[in-house]
Every structure is written in C-alpha cells, then in structure tokens.
C-alpha cells in the first residue's frame, strides 16, 4: 500500500461517524457500511484534527506524532483512505 501524502489536506468522509472508545475509536461509514477500529489514541487525535489542519502532516504534529513515527501514521491514514474513511480535501470552494 502506498503511504498517504502527508503534505496534502485530508478530512473524514462526510458519511463517517467517529465513536471514541477506551482502546481508541470506532469509525463507521454509513455509505459503505464498513466499520474500522482505531487502536491508537493518537491516530484518533490525528483523524479528528484533519478537518482543521492545513495538511495531514500538521495534524500528526498537533497530535504529538514524532517524525520517526510519521511513516507508520502515513500508512495507517492510507489504509483509512483506501476504505474511504478519509478523503482528500477539495481545494475548490
């Protein structure tokens, strides 16, 4: 799987609901009816801040992700993009 481009702006798909849990979170896509488990609280923090961060890299930094951990988080975000949980943010108004 190709890692997600962290220098681009991403967001949760509008049909995705996030439910925080003690282990991380559940993501449910109402369009595809897919359920995804996030087992890392910092990944939940990244996903939640995608909407307001200028890039995925900025969202990772805000969540306290170390530069050495970025490849792992990029791969996790790529998996979420592959299942349409996160989508690239449109630059058009």
- The phi and psi torsions of 43 (rounded to 5 degrees) equal -65, -40
Other Cβ atoms closer than 10 A to 18: 16
Into how many domains does the chain fold?
1
Find the DSSP H helices in the chain: 41-49, 56-62, 70-82
In-domain check, residue 21? no
In-domain check, residue 22? no
* Structural domain harbouring 51: 10-14+40-85
Whole-model pTM?
0.90
Q: What is the pLDDT along the chain (93 residues), one digit of tens a residue?
A: 666 899 999 999 999 999 999 999 999 999 999 999 999 999 999 999 999 999 999 999 999 999 999 999 999 999 999 999 999 997 644
In-domain check, residue 29? no
* Contact residues for 44 (Cβ-Cβ < 8 A; gap 6+): 18, 20, 24, 25, 38
In-domain check, residue 5? no
In-domain check, residue 2? no
Other Cβ atoms closer than 10 A to 4: 22
């Amino acid at each position: 799987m190709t890692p997600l481009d962290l220098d681009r702006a991403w967001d949760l798909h509008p049909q995705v609901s996030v439910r925080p849990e003690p282990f991380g979170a559940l993501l449910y896509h109402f369009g595809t009816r897919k359920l995804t488990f996030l087992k890392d609280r910092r990944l939940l923090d990244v996903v939640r801040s995608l909407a307001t961060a200028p890039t995925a890299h900025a969202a990772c930094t805000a969540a306290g992700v170390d530069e050495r951990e970025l490849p792992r988080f990029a791969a996790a975000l790529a998996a979420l993009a592959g299942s349409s949980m996160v989508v690239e943010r449109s630059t058009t108004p």
